[in-house]
Chain A
Amino acid sequence: MASDEDSDEDFVTYGTPLEPLEEDEPVRKPLPVHEQTVKDEKGRYKRFHGAFTGGFSAGYFNTVGSQEGWTPSTFVSSRQQKAEKPNVRPEDFMDEEDFSEHGIAPREIVTTDDFASGKKDQLKDKARAVSSLAALIPGDTGLLEELIAPARSSIGVELLRKMGWKDGQGVGPRLKRKQCKQNDVYGCAFPPNGSEESEDEDEFAPENVSFAPKDVVPVDFTPKVDSHGLGYRGLNPLQALGGGSETGHINLFTLQSDRTTSLFGDRNSGQQRRGGIGGQAFGVGAMEEEDTDIYHKDSMSNYDNVLGGEEPGDGLYGWTAPQQYTRKKNDSKRDVAYLGRILDGFTLASQVTEIKTVYPPPDLPRDYRPVHYFRPVVDSSTVSPIVAQALQASRGHLSQDAPQQGRHSLDSSQRCDMLGEMPLQGPSSVFELLGSKDRERLNEIRRAATEQNKSVENLSSAVDRAAVVASAKAAALQALSSRFQSIASSETQMALKAWSGPTADASKTFKPFAENPQKQARYDLYITKLKQGNKDALESNLDSSMTEWERGRERDEFVRAALLYKPSNSSLSSRFTRSKHEDDTDSVEVTRDQENDVDDKQAAVKMKMFGKLTRETFEWHPDKLLCKRFNVPDPYPGSSTVGMPKVKRDKYSVFNFLTITDSSQVSRGAPSAPKPPSSSSTLPHLTPEVSNKKSRWDIPGQEPKDPLSAFISETRSEVLAAKNETDSTHATATPEVKVAQSDGKQTEQKTEEEEKEEDEEEVRPPMDLFKAIFASSSDEKSSSSSEDDSEEKEVAPPASDPIQSSAETLNPPVSAQSTPAPDISRLTDLKHLTVQSMPSAETTAQNTQSSHSAPAKLQGLDEEEFGPRLPPPGFIPSACSPQLKKQKKKDKEKHKAKKHKKEKKKKKNKKHKHKGKQKKRVEESNSSSDDTDSNSEDENRVVSTSELLQRSELIF
């Protein structure tokens, strides 16, 4: 029990304790929310009325009534007691807890004015200040009231007076002078000057007279509530707007005591405040007398003249006393004179801060020159070893080998040894981080260097040295000049760049010094070092036994030779940049959907069955901007493709550049033309090209079953076979053949090189492009291939009349003859045409273009344009029979005809025919069109000019 009581005493408890749980009792259910009640401190139920009222409870259960009902409190239901007239205040209708909210001050005991100390009411002061500013005559009203205010002193003052206190005296028992001094010692520190003054007075004082204690102004610790700087008091509108007539200098930092004086200072000084608006900006009115004050005058007294400390020792010992304590008569004068005003609550520093001592810079020696002179440092590798040796002997200044030198020359491991430190873990040098190859190279360099040194040492006999010393200076000079000789170094850099590339191949390099094997060997070594990326390959390589002049010359020679005979690869590569896209991918973008076979359509057109047979529909993506400009919604909003959807196909193929005319006739003529089975087996690389190679000039769906293509591929294979077997006369003509010969390998394994060469030939853009650009006649080129034609002419049968054939399809016999008849010599020709000389093949193909394919596809040899022509400016109808016009028609589908090599046979005939007709023809060359008719036939030209003359006669 006792322990319990102790514990009770010990602990302090807060809040209401939980009821002790008893095990017997069933667990009480928690109250549901709606049953929970809130009561105020008086036990009354509180009701919350919505969020906005914040639980404001009004009256009795939110009514105006009371527990007894709605009875006014003023009602008295008795005859004796009459209801008094109540003095009703709003507080009577309010709850107590709401008083503070509505600004009704709580009732509390307040000292009345009678008992209050003499301290003035702050609120009243403030109000007076404001009203004085706002008044018409600022400050007047307040001052008047203050002056006339009734003399009222508080109870305390009256009591004091009754006790014998007089104004100006301090409070307390009267004391003698000595006690005062004692006070000085033990009490608060009095200002020493003040005490001196009192001492001065003391001397006049009689012995047994006691004095009242001095009046003490209580220390006023006013809390600082604003966030301004110390002593800041804001701009006084009186001074600022009133012209600042007093000083012209607004000082925001004035003392508390000064403020009051400045408030009333204007009046006291007798200066009249100017009414109305005035200031620097407004000049002087006519009525005003003084005009001296227009411009702002700043007197020097506003500024501090002297920087410096102040007197130490105010005797306050760190306590920041108010002004009254610290101000001394002498000091105050000095304060004003030197420092201006001191901030409220601040005093002058008592001790002067120490001046930092500045040490003068060291005296320079008289012969000191502030420019550093570099001695010519001679590199042992650049100079001949003898010179280097001599230099080292004479000056001891060779940079390279000085193992005995000071700590700067030591490396970290050496220093580590000297200091006895443990070596660090990990790779000790960069050397270890290098690859084995690089390390090898470095070793080699190092070895070369040491060998040189050795040779130098061997040479170092006294005789040699003496001879060499003379040349040492010259060498040093040369070394110096070579420092600034950038040209030579740039050349070596170029050589280095050219050779250090991975492409450089040593075995193929040119040997410029073949007649001098030693020199060549040195040069080779130099080249190999260059290739390794060795920068000073040149120096390390030269013969040490040569004279300096020889060495210099050889150096130049080597560099020049290296630049001249640098590998061709690098010279080429220096001109070209690497392509961004992979060139190796043998594919090209081709539209996904290809048009169907032309044969069917042609047949349909023949039968005038337009519609489904001739109509094809593809997906096509217009550009977004185009849709926008056409005010049409994008049909494929999500897609990013533009135009026809593309797919990748093989790039390099003959068939990209061969085009066919309507091969319907041919295929019809030789429908069973067998695709040689050997083509796929012998030329594996060809088959994919044949099968899926397309260009946009191609007519789709042709290749696989095109007998022509089969024919070509067959001829190819046979040509290659022929090349292997027999000595070919075309060996020199085509590099391909050459390779085939030299290799003597199976054609099935065509080397990469071969393919590449082929590709290079094939990459040419289609001829049409050239023509479109250079709009010149193609006949020159076609004539170049006339030799081939002449060969074939023998084989070719006499062709049918082109006009006649134009109207109908090709007759079977012609096509039958055109079916493959593998004559080797001719086939090689064909091969030559197809692969090597593509342009000529094209043009011949164009010229052989079928006049039999479609009636409209007739062509004139002299035409350079495509598509339907424009009529001549002046036209002679009599001269143009329909037949002739056909011939004049342009060759509009040249590129389509390219596959029809067979039809070349016909070509010659046709050509002749044309020649014949051209005589009759009216040749129109427009005045504007610059037909530089470079026709090979002279007579044609003659005819054309004569016709021109004739026509001009007709016109005019």
Chain B
Amino acid sequence: MAFPQPRPQAPQLPQHLLRTIECQQGAVRAVRFNADGNYVLTCGSDKSLKLWSMSRGTLLKTYTGHGYEVLDVDSSYDNSQLCSCSSDKTVILWDVASGQVTRKLRGHAGKVNCVQFNEEATVMLSGSIDGTVRCWDTRSRRYEPIQILDEAQDGISSLKVSEHELLIGSVDGRVRRYDLRMGQLHVDFIGSPITCVCFSRDGQCTLSSSLDSTVRLLDKSSGEMLGEYSGHVNKGYKLDCCLSDKDTHVLSCSEDGHVYFWDLVEGSLTLKLPVGKAVVQSLSFHPTEPRLLTSMEGHVQVWGAEPEDNCTYLQEEK
């Protein structure tokens, strides 16, 4: 006499444009949610880093200090710090409230493509075109990295950090996973230069997009391929991919101005979200809600599952 399970709600896709933010900082190289998803960070090619309120789309703060275009940013779990990396070969640790540079770390030999905090924001990891990933200590005042991971044979294009794992995608066509707990390095050969890697939210799979216009979902432990998603165009640019908030869909930018949504299990194209005419360079999915950020050229678009008015109503309710 069990009650029937409530039918799971169909996953809502963020397909309604909520607002467009004109960032006015040149091309937006990366757009990121902060840790809780209430704020938006944009990296501009005019050397600035901007913090926006997602709900209102207003500019909250501009962080200046980089000497060249900013390429990636990450916020700490407690929203107190930001780390960003730039073409000027530096990694900067920011104080969010004051906008001051807490630490400026030099050491990379080339532009730094990606940066990431670890879970407790005690370490910053930055991957550079020089083929190294450097682990910077945020706790001590040391200006040398704790460790340099130079196993990659070409530039690092993307890196992600989980609790005890580093996932690093390199242009040499390999995805490397450093397991600190086990003291092992797993190298998965993809063949084509990797543009973006990410963990699935359950931490069991890795997603990697490569320049052969394919996104692959690999089993983390064995390296077997679970899914392959194609249809989009990714042949020359460093484009982002990600998974939706509930791991139901795989998202990828495309050079044809769309964001592609694939069903994770079936591998079928669910949605082809038209964003604009240019290349969708960066995207970021909200950590808990069906909300999406895309960046194209100089502006950022916020996408939600419900149309605008409903959404604003919800926000007012909050």
Determine whether the beta carbon of B129 is less than 8 Å from that of A867.
yes
Interface contact A866-B188, CB-CB below 8 Å: no
A470 interfacial by beta-carbon distance below 8 Å: no
The listed residue with most A CB atoms (<10 A of its CB), out of B179, B183, B223, B224, is: B183
Assuming the contacts A629-B123, A929-B69, asked whether A644 and B185 have C-beta atoms less than 8 A apart, the reply is: yes
Q: Check if B238 is an interface residue, CB within 8 A of chain A.
A: yes
Contact residues in A for B69 (Cβ distance below 8 Å): 926, 928-929
A875-B184 contact in complex given A772-B130, A870-B29, C-beta closer than 8 Å? no
A773: interface (CB < 8 Å):
yes
Are A886 and B236 in contact, CB atoms less than 8 angstroms apart? yes
Task: Please provide the chain B residues from 124 to 178 with a CB less than 8 Å away from any CB of chain A in the complex.
Answer: 129-130, 135, 137, 139, 146-151, 153-155, 157, 163-164, 171-173, 178
Interface hub of B29, B130, B180, B236 (most chain A Cβ within 10 A): B236
**A residues less than 8 Å from B150 (CB atoms):** 643, 696
CB <8 Å contact, A611 and B222: yes
Q: Which residue of B lies closest to A697 (CB)?
A: B153
Stretch at the interface among B7-15, B90-98, B260-268, B273-281: B273-281
- A890 and B171 alpha carbons, distance in the complex (Å): 11
A933 at the interface (CB under 8 A from B): no
Cross-interface CB contact of A642 among B147, B210, B239, cutoff 8 Å: B147
Contact size range, A: 35 or more
Of B87, B146, B188, B297, the contact of A615 (CB 8 Å cutoff)? B188
Q: When the two chains form their complex, are residues B178 and A868 in contact, meaning their CB atoms are under 8 A apart?
A: no
Q: Does A608 contact B (CB under 8 A)?
A: yes
- Decide if A199 is an interface residue (CB 8 Å cutoff): no
B-contacting residues, A670-698, CB 8 Å: 696-697
Q: Does B47 contact A (CB under 8 A)?
A: yes
A117 to chain B, nearest CB (A): 88
- A644 and B147 CA atoms in complex are apart in Å by 12
Pick the contact of A772: B68, B113, B129, B238 (CB < 8 A): B129
CB-CB under 8 A from B190, the residues of chain A are 605, 614
Q: Contact between B149 and A873 (Cβ–Cβ < 8 Å)?
A: no
Query: Nearest residue in A to B120 (C-beta to C-beta)?
Result: A631
Determine the chain A residues whose CB is within 8 A of the CB of B68 once the complex forms. Answer: 928
CB contacts (< 8 Å) of B179 on chain A: these are 620
The answer to whether A115 has its CB under 8 Å from any CB of chain B is no
Do A611 and B26 touch across chains, with their CB atoms under 8 A apart? no
Known contacts A626-B180, A629-B123, A696-B150; A892 and B155 CB within 8 A of each other:
yes
Contacts of B236 in A (CB 8 A): 868-869, 885-886, 888-890
Let me know if B122 and A629 touch, CB within 8 A: yes
Q: Which of B56-64, B77-85, B191-199, B284-292 contacts A (4 or more CB under 8 A)?
A: B191-199
Interface string of A849-891 (1 = CB under 8 A from B): 0000011110000000111111111111100101001101110
Q: Are B187 and A616 in contact (CB under 8 A)?
A: yes
Are the CB atoms of B137 and A874 closer together than 8 Å?
no
Among B87, B130, B151, which residue has its beta carbon within 8 angstroms of that of A929?
B87
**Interface contact A696-B192, CB-CB below 8 Å:** no
Cβ contact within 8 Å between A866 and B189: no
Give the Cβ gap from A649 to chain B, nearest Cβ, in Å: 16
**Residue of chain B at shortest CB distance from A620:** B185
> Which chain B residues lie closer than 8 Å to A626 at the CB level?
123, 135, 146-147, 180
Name the CB-closest residue of B to A633: B181
Q: Say yes or no: A622 contacts B147, CB within 8 Å.
A: yes
Are A605 and B113 CB-contacts (below 8 A) given A629-B139, A643-B150, A893-B154? no
Counting CB contacts under 8 A, is A618 at the interface?
yes
B228 within 8 A of A: yes
A622-B235 contact given A602-B191, A643-B150, A885-B255, CB 8 Å threshold: no
Chain A residues closer than 8 Å to B99, beta-carbon distance: none
| Cβ–Cβ contact A877 & B257, under 8 A | yes
Contact between B278 and A630 (Cβ–Cβ < 8 Å)? no
Q: Considering the chains assembled together, what is the distance between the CA atoms of A602 and B212 in angstroms?
A: 13
By the criterion CB–CB under 8 Å, are B210 and A856 in contact?
Answer: yes
- Determine how close the nearest CB of chain B comes to the CB of A101; give it in whole angstroms: 69
Is the C-beta of A264 less than 8 angstroms from some C-beta in chain B? Answer: no
- Contact of B235 (CB < 8 Å), options: A614, A882, A892, A929: A882
Residues of B near A769 (CB, < 8 A) are 109, 130
A612 at the interface (CB under 8 A from B): yes
A894 to chain B: closest residue by CB: B154
- Which B residues touch A868, using CB under 8 A? 157, 171, 193, 195, 211, 236-239
The docked-state distance in angstroms from the alpha carbon of A896 to that of B153 is 9
Residues of B within 8 A of A893 (CB): 154, 171-172, 193
> A618, B187: Cβ atoms under 8 Å?
yes
Residues of B close to A570: CB separation below 8 A: none
Determine which of A622, A867, A928 lies in contact with B238 in the assembled complex, contact meaning CB atoms within 8 Å.
Answer: A867
Measured between alpha carbons, how far is A855 from B230 in the docked complex, in Å?
A: 15
User: In the complex, what's the smallest C-beta–C-beta distance from A731 to chain B, in angstroms?
Assistant: 39
- B178, B180, B193, B224: the one contacting A892 at CB < 8 Å is B193
Question: Which of B71, B118, B216 makes the CB contact (< 8 A) with A629?
Answer: B118
B241 interface contact, C-beta 8 A: no
Q: Nearest residue in A to B129 (C-beta to C-beta)?
A: A866
Q: Which of A595, A630, A769, A890 has the most CB of B within 10 A?
A: A630
Q: Is B31 an interface residue (CB 8 A)?
A: no
Would you call B183 and A620 a contact (CB within 8 A)? Answer: yes
Pick the contact of B184 from A610, A620, A773, A872 — CB < 8 Å? A620
A100 in the interface (beta carbon within 8 A): no
Given A626-B147, A632-B180, A855-B192 in contact, is the A871-B235 Cβ separation under 8 Å?
no
| B45 is an interface residue with CB less than 8 A from chain A | yes
Q: Does B215 contact A (CB under 8 A)?
A: no
B298 within 8 Å of A (CB atoms):
yes
- Residues of the A chain whose Cβ atoms lie less than 8 Å from the Cβ of B277: 875, 877
A562 within 8 A of B: no
Q: Give the residues in chain B near A486, CB-CB below 8 Å.
A: none
| Residue pair A617, B27 in contact (C-beta under 8 Å) | no
Give Cα A854 to B235, complex, Å.
12
Q: What per-residue 1/0 map shows which CB atoms of A628-654 lie under 8 Å from chain B?
A: 011111011000001110000000000
Are B224 and A611 in contact (CB-based, < 8 A)? yes
In the bound complex, do residue B189 and residue A598 qualify as a contact, i.e. CB atoms below 8 Å apart? Answer: yes
- The residue among A772, A857, A893 with the most chain B CB atoms within 10 A of its own CB is A772
Q: How far is the CA of A351 from the CA of B46 in the complex (A)?
A: 105
Shortest Cβ distance from residue B147 to the other chain A in the assembled complex, whole angstroms: 4
Q: Are A873 and B155 in contact (CB under 8 A)?
A: no
B115 within 8 A of A: no
Q: Is the CB of A615 within 8 A of B281?
A: no
Check: B186 CB closer than 8 A to any chain A CB: yes
Decide if B180 touches A601 in the complex (CB within 8 Å).
Answer: no
Is the Cβ of B237 less than 8 Å from the Cβ of A873?
no
Instruction: Give the complex CA separation of A886 and B191 in angstroms.
Output: 17
Binary contact track B202-225/A, C-beta < 8 Å → 1, others 0: 000000001110001010001111
Q: B212, A855: Cβ atoms under 8 Å? A: yes
In angstroms, how far is the closest chain A Cβ from the Cβ of B149? 7
| Minimum-distance CB pairs A-B, first 6 | A635-B183, A615-B223, A873-B27, A875-B278, A772-B110, A868-B238
Beyond A636-B183, A871-B278, 13 additional contacts (C-beta under 8 Å) are: A608-B228, A622-B178, A626-B146, A635-B184, A643-B147, A856-B212, A873-B45, A873-B297, A877-B278, A893-B154, A896-B153, A929-B45, A929-B87
**Selected A-B contacts with CB under 8 Å, 13 pairs:** A610-B216, A617-B186, A625-B137, A643-B149, A697-B153, A699-B153, A855-B212, A868-B211, A868-B237, A870-B27, A870-B29, A892-B171, A893-B154
B residues at A contact (CB < 8 Å): 26-27, 29, 45-47, 68-69, 71, 87, 109-111, 113, 118-120, 122-123, 129-130, 135, 137, 139, 146-151, 153-155, 157, 163-164, 171-173, 178-193, 195, 210-212, 216, 218, 222-225, 228, 233, 235-239, 255-257, 277-279, 281, 297-298
